[in-house]
Amino acid sequence: AAAMAGAALGEVPEVQIDGGGVFKYVLLRVRGAGAPHKDIVRGHGWAEYHADLFERTAEELARHGLSCECLGGGRLAHRPEERKIHVYGYSVGFGRADHAVTTEKLKAEYPDYEITWADEGY
């Protein structure tokens, strides 16, 4: 089971965010049975609440035998025309995500972007 969970974990994309705009995001820690964990970023404009992102992602992961916990949330301002993403804000329900962790994940996914973060703002 651990090997299968590890394989499933390996297939989970670290970053899935909308192609542009300002939207909420969550930082999630994904685990398989007895497998190591990995942290992922999910941010989409359709989500009215951070919990919407968490619940939909948790449902998707559960189908692959994985579980997740929310480490916090915030907002992303994604400006593809300027190749910039700014990470800021917090989630009322889940608290503030570690924006430094989120920024590192985004830098790996968008190496040619300028990615900044701040604890200020909502």
What domain count does the chain have? Answer: 1
Which listed residue (50, 78, 86, 99) is catalytic?
50
**Spatial separation of the C-alpha atoms in residues 52 and 75, rounded to whole Å:** 14
The answer to whether residue 50 is catalytic is yes
Residue 107 is assigned to a ligand binding site: no
**Spatial separation of the C-alpha atoms in residues 68 and 32, rounded to whole Å:** 9
Q: What is the pLDDT of residues 8-60, one digit of tens each?
A: 899 999 999 999 999 999 999 999 887 789 999 999 999 999 999 999 999 99
pLDDT at res. 120? 72
pLDDT at res. 34? 79
The whole domain housing 100 covers 1-118
The terminus-to-terminus CA distance of the chain in angstroms comes to 41
More confident residue, 119 or 112: 112
Q: What is the pLDDT of residues 91-111, one digit of tens each?
A: 999 999 999 999 999 999 999
**Spatial separation of the C-alpha atoms in residues 87 and 103, rounded to whole Å:** 7
Q: What is the pLDDT of residues 70-95, one digit of tens each?
A: 999 999 999 999 999 999 999 999 99
Residue 5 has pLDDT above 80, yes or no: no
Nearest partner of 38 among 103, 88, 101, judged by Cα: 101
Q: Which CATH number does the domain housing residue 50 bear? A: 3.50.20.20
CA dihedral 87, 43, 96, 93 (to 10 degrees): 150
Residues for the chain: how many in total?
A: 122
Q: Could you tell me the pTM of the whole model?
A: 0.93
pLDDT at res. 2? 63
pLDDT at res. 33? 80
Tokens of 120: 């200020």
